[in-house]
Structure 1
Amino acid sequence: MAGGTWPATGRGRKRGRDVKTIRYGIIGCGMMGQEHLRNIALLEDAEVAAIFEPDAAMRAEAAAHAPGAVLVDSVAGLLAVEAVNVLLIASPNYLHLRQMEEIAAIRPLPVLVEKPLFTDPADAPRLVALRSAYPAPIWVAMEYRYMPPVAHLVAEAQAATGGVKMLTIREHRFPFLHKVGEWNRLNTRTGGTLVEKCCHFFDLMRLIAGCNPVRVMASGGQAVNHKDEVLPNGERPDIWDNAYVIVDFENGLRAMLELCMFAEGSRYQEEISAVGPLGKIECLVPGPGRFWPAHLGEAPVPQVIVSPRDPKGPRVLDVPVDPALLAAGDHNGSTYYQHAGFNRAARGEQAPAVTLTDGWWAVAMGLAAQESARTGRAVVLATEGYAPH
């Protein structure tokens, strides 16, 4: 993929560095799309030029967030708005790849696409074709990389540990929220919980490891959530709400994910620890502030804790997040920092930090974990068709 090349598009500029104001075309303005709108409003030299959102209620809310944007009724209509010079895809998971292909065929602008890139293993060849031919930057939205406490841990992990040997990610959180048409209740539309939700964590594992996974073992299922729900079309939700996943990497690092989506009473939502021969570093990340019980006072402050083996004794660092960024979304300010990086990539000032290959591996690891949980056996990535090629 040509990371910094700006496509020729009618009157469009050939090089990203010539672009002054970033003008977004937004595809999908549900809950996450509106978080993107709020964060774009905080950026310098960025605005929303056009929005495609088919649901009437979500479209009205999006228009209130971006009153200057043109509202259109299709992806093609969005691409026809000449002012648009970058794109954000925040539609339901199963539409991402199809919409990227449509963009590639009409007007391949720089794209920030929400995770996951795809939901069906059979779609992998289509992603190969897109990756080899798309002429502009594509940045996969992995917000967890940009949460300040997580970013601090990633930056310091090797020095603090002397080389990470064991990595544990625990997420204890609330159930899936209600979304338009309840699309997030079905494996066929989401790719399954270990793809839809957990691709973030598999991306972090691979980022910290600095190499690719080789084997995945998992156990998971639907124990508590959504079991009494009936969807508008009569189907019952089959989305999982808990799992354990173990991943072995090429360099010998072992990683584990513990997911529970019926633990919203927890003080911290994410707890990540990395351990090596010199010590341990961990970070504690609270969930969205709007869910914190008001009677308990202020929400917890994110923390990073470094625990060397010698001299023993943990050092605790508070990592507060700008209140304006906390108010703009549910991801501890990360959506803002992600957009700032994407804007630099769109201008040709850097390559995408999260590439199609990164996004592909995150999905491949989730699919392999779900297969392992379903069959009760370990999945070897390189030999069983889950690894990107």
Structure 2
Amino acid sequence: MKVRTAVLGAGEMGREHLRSLAMVPQAQVVAVYDPSEDAGKKAAQDFQVPQAYTDLHTLLKTEKPEYVVVASPALYHARQSIAAFEAGAHVLCEKPLCMDRGEADAIVEAAKKAGRLFTMGFQLRQHRVDRALKKFIAEGGLGQIYHTRVWAGHIMNYPWGRFHHRREFSFGGVMAATVVHILDAAIWVLGCPEPVTVSASCFRRIDKMPDPPINFEGSVSEVTVEDFGHAHVRFANGSSMSIDGSWLTHPTNRNVGFEVLGVLGVAKEGNHTVELEKQSEIVPHELEVEADPENYTAAEHEEFVAAIRGAGEPQVRFAEALAVQRILVGIYESAAQGREVRV
């Protein structure tokens, strides 16, 4: 039997999940939800979904999905995830997880109480080079890790959509929407060290530019999120991490990715490749890397559906999701207060 699946949200991310789920033979999308009747019906028509709903509880009661994909704005992630758990469904929630630490804890508690599986839409975990690097580091290939550098962003490319640029819906800007992917990948590859403190600064540049690159619905006056952020994280194991993100970076050759510094060498992950530095020289890496899946989002659905059927475990663990959320919350608290904060 196929896993009965519902997608919440018919916007950019919801449509991406519908497109990807069509590639997963073990899943059957039975319904899509969106408060906009037109958006829901359009998505249902475009992806051959039988039903579109504007009321979430009616969908859950009527369709009884086993698997719910939460692809709505972050403002709604907690309430929709918890409702799905209470209805007996397993949940994949898109990033960022939610709006604060309290909501994050509530999601985890609801999943545990319902005895249902939970994961997040961190597609970069499907990069086989990251999986190989994780194994390499766990086996001591770099020795003790003392620092990691993370960078992500766009070159003069502000995300489009109805909600990315409004903090009341999105939780945050470049750090919560873009950097979060690389941050999660780095945290995961490192073995999920425990974050202790965060010091950060954020800046909004777009409303100060004479000719801002606007490609979203609305005007610059509606932007309430950062398009640049920098943070320093300290972990309980004594290591640290620097994080930089920007949607409005000047043209540069800097790759999106992360760099892991260990006492035996440095591993640079970027553009899905790894370089190792040892004794001031670049040496060929010896990682055994499988071929990447054709579609990362479809691959994450395949793995989670398999876990629902008892074959394997969710790719994202509770502790990992909470660690990333704690760092993000710490970034915004630190930037607002102008000081280092505990997370």
Structure 1 match to 2:244? 258
Structure 1 match to 2:284? 315
Structure 1 match to 2:333? 371
Q: Render the CA deviation track for 1:229-274: whole Å, top value 9, x for unaligned.
A: 7976996212101111111111111111111211374556512111
1:305 and 2:275 correspond: yes
TM-score, structure 2 normalization: 0.85
Pair 1:131–1:318, CA change in 2 (3 A):
closer
Structure 2 match to 1:289? none
Q: Is the 8 A contact 1:172 1:266 kept in 2?
A: no
Q: Is the 8 A contact 1:27 1:52 kept in 2?
A: yes
Structure 1 match to 2:40? 59
1:126 paired residue among 90, 106, 111: 106
Pair 1:100–1:189, CA change in 2 (3 A):
same
Structure 1 match to 2:75? 94
Pair 1:114–1:31, CA change in 2 (3 A):
same
Pair 1:33–1:161, CA change in 2 (3 A):
same
**What SS does the aligned partner of 2:248 have?**
coil
Pair 1:65–1:36, CA change in 2 (3 A):
same
Q: Is the 8 A contact 1:164 1:209 kept in 2?
A: no
1:211 and 2:193 correspond: yes
1:135 paired residue among 101, 112, 115: 115
| CA distance in structure 1 between the aligned counterparts of 2:320 and 2:154, rounded to whole angstroms | 25
1:244 and 2:230 correspond: yes
Pair 1:74–1:226, CA change in 2 (3 A):
farther
Pair 1:136–1:129, CA change in 2 (3 A):
closer
TM-score, structure 1 normalization: 0.76
Q: Is the 8 A contact 1:157 1:274 kept in 2?
A: no
Q: Render the CA deviation track for 1:2-59: whole Å, top value 9, x for unaligned.
A: xxxxxxxxxxxxxxxxxx3122111112111122122212223223111112335543
Matched residue type, 2:146: K
Q: Render the CA deviation track for 1:271-292: whole Å, top value 9, x for unaligned.
A: 211121211111212xxxxxxx
Q: Render the CA deviation track for 1:281-319: whole Å, top value 9, x for unaligned.
A: 11212xxxxxxxxxxxxxxxx322222338x33326998
Structure 1 gaps of 5+ residues are: 1-19, 286-301, 326-332, 382-389
Q: Is the 8 A contact 2:33 2:55 kept in 1?
A: yes
| CA distance in structure 1 between the aligned counterparts of 2:36 and 2:74, rounded to whole angstroms | 16
Aligned pair count reads 334
Q: Render the CA deviation track for 1:65-106: whole Å, top value 9, x for unaligned.
A: 42143222221232234473211110111001111232234x
Please state how far the C-alpha of 1:226 moved relative to its aligned partner. Answer: 8.5
Structure 2 match to 1:222? 204
Structure 1 match to 2:172? 192
Q: Is the 8 A contact 2:108 2:318 kept in 1?
A: no
Please state how far the C-alpha of 1:368 moved relative to its aligned partner. Answer: 0.7
Please state how far the C-alpha of 1:115 moved relative to its aligned partner. Answer: 1.7
Please state how far the C-alpha of 1:127 moved relative to its aligned partner. Answer: 3.7
Pair 1:276–1:56, CA change in 2 (3 A):
same
Q: Is the 8 A contact 1:21 1:46 kept in 2?
A: yes
Structure 2 match to 1:5? none
**What SS does the aligned partner of 1:160 have?**
coil
Runs of 4+ in 1 over 4 A off after TM superposition: 225-235, 264-269, 316-322
Q: Is the 8 A contact 2:206 2:220 kept in 1?
A: no
| CA distance in structure 2 between the aligned counterparts of 1:52 and 1:354, rounded to whole angstroms | 24
Q: Is the 8 A contact 1:303 1:319 kept in 2?
A: no
Structure 1 match to 2:318? 356
Q: Is the 8 A contact 2:275 2:282 kept in 1?
A: no
| CA distance in structure 1 between the aligned counterparts of 2:46 and 2:275, rounded to whole angstroms | 38
